């Protein structure tokens, strides 16, 4: 496995492989890797001739400077995990390699950036669009892999590819969970013992709603989730939305003919956890 810090050096290497007809898979990450990231790499290795992973903590997608400062960084451990997963290349750039000049591109994700994460983290998806577009320009992958835990982000990236006519296939991969159901996340490393003990209740509650969806109305289920989670000592609901799985428009009634998604954000102290389940998928 080779590690590159310079954009031009990586591009030159990948250009040669691309001209040889090699199919390139790409897994962009912000590091602090866990089994969920590694599953994306494993899928890419299976689907492609060459797999590239990037590690870059992207400041443009953090609207909270403290969150950026506290985001875990462990590049040596990450590189070892990627090597064990048979990744071929790691891109480990600094800021100037990714953003050599100011990005003045206009990104318009419509409804996707106005609800949920977009509403509570203004500017977040513009930052995501900036970094993913730039990384796609550098790597020029055939396939790129994203976890569906960040469901809204997955839809935004699909919109980005369509908006700018980027020739890459976006592959969504199932959320990888801990043994107790908690969605794997780099932020889980920051949870206290008490927070970690209560955090699995998020997915347990979402799974309960999915199983018993016809028992209550949309509004009743949203209130039920808030009451259930807020009754715990360590957790506080920021939002729960039940939406169309394609447009993310909120729904007021359940419709068996539609795919719906329930998306939530929950604070454990200052640590923000997100999760989702699909209905009628």
Domain annotation covers residue 144: yes
Residues 145 and 255 in one domain: no
Please tell me the distance from the alpha carbon of residue 151 to that of residue 133, in angstroms, as a whole number.
18
Q: What's the pLDDT band for 244 if we cut at 50, 70, 90? A: very high
Catalytic residue, chosen from 37, 124, 179, 212, is 37
Looking at 173, 207, 238, which one is the last position of a domain? 173
Residues 154 and 110 in one domain: yes
Domain that holds residue 244: 186-276
Q: What CATH number does residue 105 fall under?
A: 3.40.50.620
pLDDT over threshold 90, residue 47: yes
Domain annotation covers residue 157: yes
Residues 15 and 130 in one domain: yes
Q: What is the DSSP string of 58-75?
A: -GGG-S-HHHHHHS---H
Residues 6+ positions from 154 with CB-CB distance below 8 Å:
146, 147, 148, 170, 172
The predicted structure's pLDDT at residue 243? 96
Please tell me the distance from the alpha carbon of residue 188 to that of residue 195, in angstroms, as a whole number.
9
How do residues 77-99 score in pLDDT, each as one tens digit?
Answer: 999 999 999 999 999 999 999 99
Reference 116, options 267, 24, 240, 220; nearest CA is: 240
Residues 195 and 167 in one domain: no
Residues 161 and 271 in one domain: no
The predicted structure's pLDDT at residue 39? 97
Alpha-carbon distances of 61 from 72, 118, 269, rounded to whole Å: 15, 11, 21
Please tell me the distance from the alpha carbon of residue 208 to that of residue 1, in angstroms, as a whole number.
43
Domain annotation covers residue 235: yes
Residues 147 and 206 in one domain: no
Residues 161 and 228 in one domain: no
Residues 245 and 139 in one domain: no
Mean pLDDT, residues 33-52 taken together: 97
The predicted structure's pLDDT at residue 263? 98
Mean pLDDT, residues 200-208 taken together: 98
Q: What's the pLDDT band for 63 if we cut at 50, 70, 90? A: confident
Question: 226-235, 240-249, 252-261, 269-278 — which is least confidently predicted?
Answer: 252-261
Considering the chain, what is the average pLDDT of its residues?
A: 95
* 3-state class percentages of the chain: helix first, strand second, coil last, to nearest 5: 45, 20, 35
Q: What is the DSSP string of 166-188?
A: ---EEEEEPPPB-TTSPBP-GGG
Reference 232, options 207, 208, 281, 266; nearest CA is: 266
Quick one: what percent of the chain has pLDDT higher than 70? 100
pLDDT over threshold 90, residue 255: no
Domain annotation covers residue 181: no
Note if 37 is an active site residue.
yes
Question: 11-15, 85-89, 111-115, 169-173 — which is least confidently predicted?
Answer: 111-115
Please tell me the distance from the alpha carbon of residue 133 to that of residue 8, in angstroms, as a whole number.
16
Domain annotation covers residue 224: yes
Q: What's the pLDDT band for 257 if we cut at 50, 70, 90? A: confident
Residues 225 and 165 in one domain: no
Q: What CATH number does residue 228 fall under?
A: 3.30.1300.10
Q: Please state the domain count of the chain.
A: 2
The predicted structure's pLDDT at residue 72? 79
Of residues 84 and 123, more confidence is placed in 84
Q: What's the pLDDT band for 62 if we cut at 50, 70, 90? A: confident
């Amino acid at each position: 496995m080779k590690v590159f810090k310079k954009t031009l050096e990586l591009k030159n290497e990948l250009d040669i492989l691309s001209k040889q007809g090699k199919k390139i898979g790409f897994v962009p990450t912000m590091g602090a890797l866990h089994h969920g990231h590694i599953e994306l790499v494993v899928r890419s290795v299976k689907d492609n001739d060459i797999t590239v992973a990037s590690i870059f903590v992207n400041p443009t997608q953090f609207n909270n400077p403290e969150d950026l400062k506290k985001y875990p960084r462990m590049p040596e451990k990450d590189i070892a995990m990627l090597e064990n997963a048979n990744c071929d290349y790691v891109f480990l750039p600094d800021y100037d390699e990714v953003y050599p000049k100011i990005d003045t591109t206009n990104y318009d994700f419509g409804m996707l950036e106005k609800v949920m994460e977009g509403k509570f983290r203004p500017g977040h998806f513009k930052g995501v669009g900036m970094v993913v577009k730039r990384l796609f320009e550098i790597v020029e992958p055939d396939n790129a892999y994203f976890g569906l835990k960040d469901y809204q982000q997955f839809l935004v990236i699909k919109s980005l590819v369509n908006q700018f006519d980027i020739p890459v296939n976006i592959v969504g991969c199932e959320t990888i969970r801990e043994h107790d159901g908690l969605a794997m996340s780099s932020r889980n490393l920051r949870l206290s013992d008490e927070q970690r003990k209560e955090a699995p209740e998020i997915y347990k509650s979402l799974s309960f709603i999915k199983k018993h969806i016809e028992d209550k109305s949309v509004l009743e289920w949203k209130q039920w989730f808030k009451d259930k989670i807020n009754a715990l000592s360590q957790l506080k609901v920021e939002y729960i939305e039940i939406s169309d799985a394609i447009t993310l428009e909120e729904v007021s009634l359940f419709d068996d003919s539609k795919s719906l998604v329930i998306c939530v954000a929950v604070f454990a102290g200052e640590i923000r956890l997100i999760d989702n389940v699909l209905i009628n998928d």
